[in-house]
Amino acid sequence: MLLDRLSHDLKKAHRGGFKLALMFIDLDRFKEVNDTLGHHMGDMLLVEASQRIVGCIRESDTVARLGGDEFTVILADLTDTCGIERIASDILAALTAPFTLLTERAFVSASIGITLYPDDAVHLEDLLKNADQAMYVSKANGRNCLSYFTRAMQDAALHRMHLLADLRLAMEQHQFELHYQPILDLSTLQIHKAEALLRWTHPVRGAVGPAEFIPLAEESGLIHALGNWVFAQAMAQAKTWREQIDPDFQISVNLSPVQLQSGAERLQWQHHLQSAQLGGAAVVLEITEGLLLEKSAHISAELLAYRDAGIQVAIDDFGTGYSALSYLKQMDIDFLKIDQSFVRNLDTDASNHALCEAIVVMAHKLGLKVIAEGVETIAQRDLLQAMGCDCAQGYLFSKALSAKEFETLLATTAQPVR
Does 374 engage in binding with ligand C2E (CB under 6 A)?
Answer: yes
Are the beta carbons of 203 and 169 closer than 8 angstroms? no
Q: Does 254 bind Mg ion (CB under 5 A)?
A: yes
Q: How far apart, in Å, are the Cα atoms of 4 and each of 11, 76, 78, 123, 218?
A: 11, 13, 19, 13, 36
The single residue among 197, 303, 363, 387 that binds ligand C2E, judged by CB under 6 A, is: 197
3-state secondary structure of 101: strand
* Beta carbon nearer to Mg ion, 289 or 317: 317
Binding residue for ligand C2E, selected from 154, 181, 233, 323, defined by CB under 6 A: 181
Pairing, β 206-208 against β 191-202: antiparallel
Contact 400, 381 (CB under 8 A): no
- Report the nearest approach of ligand C2E to the CB of residue 395 (Å): 4
Distances in Å between the Cα of 199 and the Cα atoms of 122, 206, 268 are: 41, 10, 23
Q: Which is nearer to Mg ion, 64 or 371 (CB)?
A: 371
**264, 395, 408, 411: residue in contact with ligand C2E (rule CB under 6 A):** 395
Give the SS3 label for residue 49: helix
Q: What, of Mg ion, ligand C2E, none, does residue 400 touch, CB below 5 to 8 Å by kind?
A: ligand C2E
Choices 3-11, 77-85, 95-103, 371-379; region in contact with ligand C2E by CB under 6 A: 371-379
| Interacting residue with Mg ion among 61, 166, 265, 316 (CB under 5 A) | 316
At residue 21, the 3 state secondary structure works out as strand
Name the minimum Å distance from CB 401 to ligand C2E.
Answer: 11
**Phi, psi (rounded to 5 degrees) for 182:** -65, 145
Name the 3-class secondary structure at 390.
coil
As separate numbers, helices (DSSP H) first and strands (DSSP E) second, the chain gives: 16, 16
Q: Which of ligand C2E, Mg ion, none does 319 bind, CB closer than 5 to 8 A by kind?
A: none
Q: Are 109 and 28 spatial neighbours (Cβ–Cβ below 8 Å)?
A: yes
Helix (H) or strand (E) holding 144: none
Shortest Å distance, C-beta 386 to ligand C2E: 19
Stretch that binds ligand C2E, among 127-135, 320-328, 347-355, 387-395 (CB under 6 A): 387-395
Least Å distance, CB 270 to ligand C2E, is 19
Ranges of beta strands (E only) in 240-332 are 250-254, 283-288, 312-318
Adjacent-strand bridge partners of 337: 371
Q: Answer whether the bond into residue 215 is a cis peptide, omega within 30°.
A: no
**283-288/250-254 β-pairing:** parallel
Site for ligand C2E in 251-290 (CB under 6 A): 254, 256, 286
User: H/E element holding 114?
Assistant: strand 109-117
Within residues 205-244, the interface with ligand C2E by CB under 6 A covers: 209-211, 214, 230
Q: Which of 200, 222, 394, 401 binds ligand C2E (CB under 6 A)?
A: 394
**42 contact choice in ligand C2E, Mg ion, none (CB below 5 to 8 Å, kind-dependent):** none
Contact with Mg ion (CB under 5 A) among 26, 61, 166, 286: 286
166 is a contact residue toward ligand C2E (CB under 6 A):
no
Instruction: Give the bridge partners for 78, in sequence order.
Output: 19
Stretch binding Mg ion (CB under 5 A), from 46-54, 84-92, 249-257, 388-396: 249-257
Contact residues for Mg ion, defined by CB under 5 A: 254, 286, 316-317, 373
Contact residues for ligand C2E, defined by CB under 6 A: 181, 197-198, 209-211, 214, 230, 254, 256, 286, 316-317, 340, 373-376, 393-395, 400
